[in-house]
Structure 1
């Protein structure tokens, strides 16, 4: 039995920011991956499968608190456990 079989179901909307209401700590105990338009992305900060978007950092630009500025990209989103 692999670790992914014991993992909770991936939510429709997930964020890596602990301050976000869409943060689920139990999901991040396992290694997850995101495919966006058929290609795996390693820089996704937040996603929503039903609405079809991901948020990724906009280069090296940061806000006044030091967090990266995010841009929303629309397309086909697929989340999976590695």
Structure 2
């Protein structure tokens, strides 16, 4: 009986990790899309302050997203 419970627990853990990896990949793609959008918007921004704000936001999103993805991937191994 305990072997069966341990097997179920292991399957649930593997399934949870797989779902977590899918979620992290989706997050990574979406952050990448936001970063590209903000960088493109910065290129055509009519005001210098807006260009700077969009560039800074893109850089911040990219940096925070990278750190989050790296940590989340470590957890879901």
Give the structure-2-normalised TM-score: 0.21
Higher relative contact order (CA 8 A, sep 6+): 2
Higher strand residue share:
1
Structure with the greater alpha carbon radius of gyration: 2
Higher helix residue share:
2
Give the structure-1-normalised TM-score: 0.20
